[in-house]
Structure 1
Amino acid sequence: MKAARIYLSVLCLSLGFLFGFSPAEKKSKATWIWQSEIIGQDKQQVLEFCEQNEINLIYLRIDMNKPSDYYRSFIREATAQGIEVHAVAGHPAWAFTSNQKRMMNIVGWVKKYNLESEPNERIRGIQLDIEPYLLPQWETERDRVIREWQANVEAFTEAVRDETGLMSSVALAFWLDDIPTPDNPDMPLSKWMIDQFDTICIMAYRDRLNGSNGILSLIEQEMQEADELGRRVLVAVNLKKDMNDHASFAEEGVVEMNRQLALLPEHLEQHPSYGGIAIHDYRNWKEAAADMPPVDRDHYKGTYIWRAETIRTEKDEILAFAKENDVNLLYVRIDMQQPLSMYQDFVREAKAAGIEVHAMGGHPIWALTESRGKILKLVNWVKAYNQEVSSGEQFHGVHLDIEPYVMPVWREKKEAVLRQWMGNIEAFVEATKHETNLEVSVDLAAWLDKTPTPGQPDKPFAHWMMEQMDHTTLMAFRDQAEGIIGLVENQMKYAQSIDKKLVVAVETKESHEGDFITFYEEGRGEMNRQLQLVTKALEGYSSFMGQAIHAYEYWKNGKE
């Protein structure tokens, strides 16, 4: 664990044992950069793209005519960002032993470069991409080509796997499992190749997971072979345009590619060899991403999921509903008794669909000092969970819904409750922010701008709360735009003055406080119309972050 304090380390480990955490290999998300000039001309763009797309492995073609400092600068910054850089080299003719020396030049260059470089500037591995089946001799002299290819591979891996600690990898066509190994016809060529390398990138160039010609069926034999041999597999897909549409996601686009790839782990988790994904290649991926409609992160459309188990039992329905209704923010209540895989699967698919997921918890009694431990238990659970899972499965933030004003003690000892609530919020923020990038947010009744802050009577309590949070969700529970705007507009002005963000929430659940509280009677169509008016009135405020509808279950089942 990364926590500096021993007690937090012990606590996180205890949570792991209690809730079923197990050591999990961090999966790779890789891409290829074939034009080495890109890392000089567009270094910052490359690194920003990697950060945005959670890339942690780059296969970089090395131009050996460039000076070593050219690569050191890029690799140093990539390493600081958590990205490994491996050299990639190859040509179909490298299958011939007559070209073995040319192949070995890259090994010699990388070793010399690493010896002259600092640890954070070093290349971590070398990948071969030879593909001799593109040669005319593949059809006329296949056995000879394969034998020479094997000899070159053996020479390469022996040279790479010496005392330098370099990793060896290969880009491998999925259909080599149909080709027998010369002199050993019972062994598929795929298995022989897999046995030679540390990591195998299976070029599973298809645009769908399922079916007889889908990714899963085409790589199954290689996954089993890698399991048996103790090797690591990355499943590679293609974004470069291909004359065969089914061999690339160029037609389907990045969003569909992300959706399909998000489903891979649940299908492949039984394979210990599964090590992640690779997307071919950076240039085509970047161009395809540029064609995507921009994701409006300044304006959320969110909802709440209170029954945690529904993210398992209704996962597909929730994600389809989110897509249909342009939802890009989900507050999901955490039930610590549920299996971790339930959260991993849901968050991974939601994030692939462009949806932020924030872990949620709360109860009115959480405002009291005696319940501070419950808040910290939630925070530490989320932090431990995020440390154990891949970046694509992590929660974006922690969201509290406390609302102590529903308790009798609020009327009897309001100031005392407020003071305790403030103390708990300060502890919540400090614990959540310690060594993480998690966002903190809360639900807050819009009318709390009329309640003074204990010890600061001139400051509305709502203002104090906004100051603590990354964003605050104001529960402006009214069924007319005019009423909603009236509840929040002054707070928008204050939040703008302190550079804070506000989400405006409305209700769809039946209310016994009056019909004006909720859109239960009016239905979805009228709610959407009124929210459009709210957006039009508030979008001029930089503090306006969007809307949230309470809650998924009521919204989904409400009147049209």
Structure 2
Amino acid sequence: MNKGWKWVVVWIVMMVVISFPSTEKAAGVDMRKSTWLWNTWEIVSNHEEIIGFLTAHGVDEVYLQVDPEVETVYYHQFIEKASIEGIAVHALDGAPKWATVKGRSSLVSFFDWLKNYQDAAAEGQRFKGVHLDVEPYLLPAWSTAYGNTVLNYQRMVAAAAELSAELQLPLAMDIPFWFDERKFNNEFGKGNVAEWVIGKTDEVAVMAYRDLANGPNGINELVRNEIQFGLSQGKKVKVGVETAPSAEGDFLTFYEEGEAFMSGELALVDDRYRAYQSYNGIAVHHYESWKSLKE
């Protein structure tokens, strides 16, 4: 073959490669992302800024703290505009006291408010799910009366699951990565707490607060069991990371490293688990600290 024909062949091969690119996606491409919005008053005056940030960062779910003092018209406005941008808004609430007998009234009040809101709102103004952040291990009784505290927590989760089902909304719970090491043996049977919560809810967000994806203490290793539990039970698992400063150690948050470094590590997490049916993306805690993160 002469040199002229060789160049023709090379040109044809190049055109074929360009016309038919690889169907395999790079790590982190189309990564599902969600975040928490704790300061409800932000939606009153900054709803456009919030939605702009969420859209620019590829967020498709936001957990919005319910504050009954904020007028419903602002929820209507925010949820409607978020929906137009393909962002689902979930009702967020919870506190450690919800995992106590006396604190159960707060759970009931939350769902009463949510039911009234959903009934009065138009279709495009309604919440798409329930997201609870309870953290019972912050109670003093977690150390002094563990068995009873876990039992009350489980009763709360079971009640929340029933109330969410009545509203035909999926229920998600925040859990720490180490719940798979905590046991229970009570009226709900026996096992580890993480697997039980995953079985009772539609989704969990595992608070795997580390600033590295890989390694024995990295994000991928910390969520490995929860991903498997979700897979075996047909449930969804989000991987939660922190962006706010932490007094417990720099390794718990991406605050020091910034946005670019975090994106690289999250791409490694997404690449590791995206083939699992239970994996449902990354949850970045939280909007206020994320938007202030250095590049």
TM-score range, shorter chain: 0.7 to 0.9
Aligned-partner Cα distance in 2 for 1:74–1:286: 18
Residue 112 (structure 2) pairs with residue 85 (structure 1): no
Measure how far apart 1:112 and its partner are.
Answer: 1.2
Q: Which residue of 2 aligns with 1:72?
A: 76
Alignment partner, residue 278 of structure 2: 273
- Cα shift readout 1:80-134 (whole Å, capped 9, x = no counterpart): 0100000110111110022112112111211211111111100011111010111
Pick one of 232, 237, 245 that aligns with 2:236.
Answer: 232
The separation in 2 between residues aligned to 1:45 and 1:175, in whole angstroms, is 35
User: Equivalent residue of 1:97, what SS?
Assistant: coil
Cα distance between partner residues in 1 of 2:86 and 2:277: 23
Question: Matched residue of 1:177: which SS?
Answer: helix
Conserved 8 A contact 2:97-2:139: yes
Instruction: Give the Cα separation in 2 of the matches to 1:118 and 1:189.
Output: 37
Equivalent residue number for residue 155 of structure 2: 151
Indicate the SS of the match to 2:223.
Answer: helix
Partner in structure 2 of residue 120 of structure 1: 124
Normalising by structure 2, report the TM-score. 0.87
Q: 1:120 to 1:275 in 2, by over 3 A?
A: same
Match of 1:283 in 2: 288
Retained in 2: the 8 A contact 1:206–1:246?
A: yes
Runs of 4+ in 1 over 4 A off after TM superposition: none
User: Counterparts of 1:111 and 1:136 in 2: how far apart (Å)?
Assistant: 32
SS at match of 1:56: strand
Does 1:261 find its partner at 2:278?
Answer: no
Q: How far is the alpha carbon of 1:222 from its aligned partner?
A: 0.8
Give the gaps of 5 or more residues in structure 2: 1-22
- Contact 2:41 / 2:70 at 8 angstroms: preserved in 1? no
- Percent of paired sites with the same residue: 31
Q: Are positions 1:174 and 2:177 aligned together? A: yes
- Take 2:225 and 2:190, find their aligned partners in 1: how far apart are those partners? 14
* Structure 1 partner of 2:12: none
Match for residue 214 of structure 1?
Answer: 218
Aligned pairs for 1:147-546 within 5 A: 147-162=151-166, 164-183=167-186, 187-243=191-247, 244-288=249-293, 291-292=294-295
Q: Deviations over 1:1-46 (max 9, x none)?
A: xxxxxxxxxxxxxxxxxx799xxxx863101110000111211110
Rounded Cα–Cα distance in structure 1 between residues aligned with 2:31 and 2:207: 17
Unaligned segments of structure 1, at least 5 residues: 1-18, 293-560
Q: Distance in 1 between matches of 2:131 and 2:185?
A: 24
Amino acid in the other structure paired with 2:140: P
- Find out whether 1:53 has 2:61 as its counterpart: no
TM-superposed deviation, 1:47: 0.9
Please give the root-mean-square deviation of Cα atoms over the aligned residues, in Å: 1.7
Inter-partner Cα distance in structure 2 for 1:221 and 1:20: 26
How far 1:251 sits from its partner (Å)?
1.0
The alpha carbon displacement at 1:185 in A equals 7.8
Alignment partners' CA distance in 2, 1:177 and 1:185: 15
TM-score (norm 1): 0.46
- Measure the CA separation in 1 of the matches of 2:95 and 2:145: 18
Alpha-carbon deviation of 1:194?
0.7
The answer to whether the Cα contact below 8 Å between 2:219 and 2:269 also exists between their aligned partners in 1 is no
Aligned partners of 2:122, 2:190: CA distance in 1, in Å? 46
Q: Secondary structure at the match of 2:292?
A: helix
Question: Deviation of residue 186 (structure 1)?
Answer: 5.3
Deviations 1:187-239 (A, max 9, x none): 11100011111111001100001111101111111111110111001101000
Cα deviation 1:226-271 (Å, max 9, x = unaligned): 1011100110100010021111111111110011111222211342
Aligned length: 267
Does 1 or 2 have the higher relative contact order (CA < 8 Å, sep 6+)?
Answer: 2
Contact in 1 for aligned 2:40/2:70 (Cα 8 Å): no
Amino acid at match of 1:99: G
Offset of residue 166 of structure 1 = 0.8
Answer whether contact 2:31 2:270 (CA < 8 A) is retained.
Answer: no
Residues in 2 aligned to 1:51 and 1:150: alpha-carbon distance in whole angstroms: 36
Distance in structure 1 (CA, Å) of the matches to 2:104 and 2:139: 16
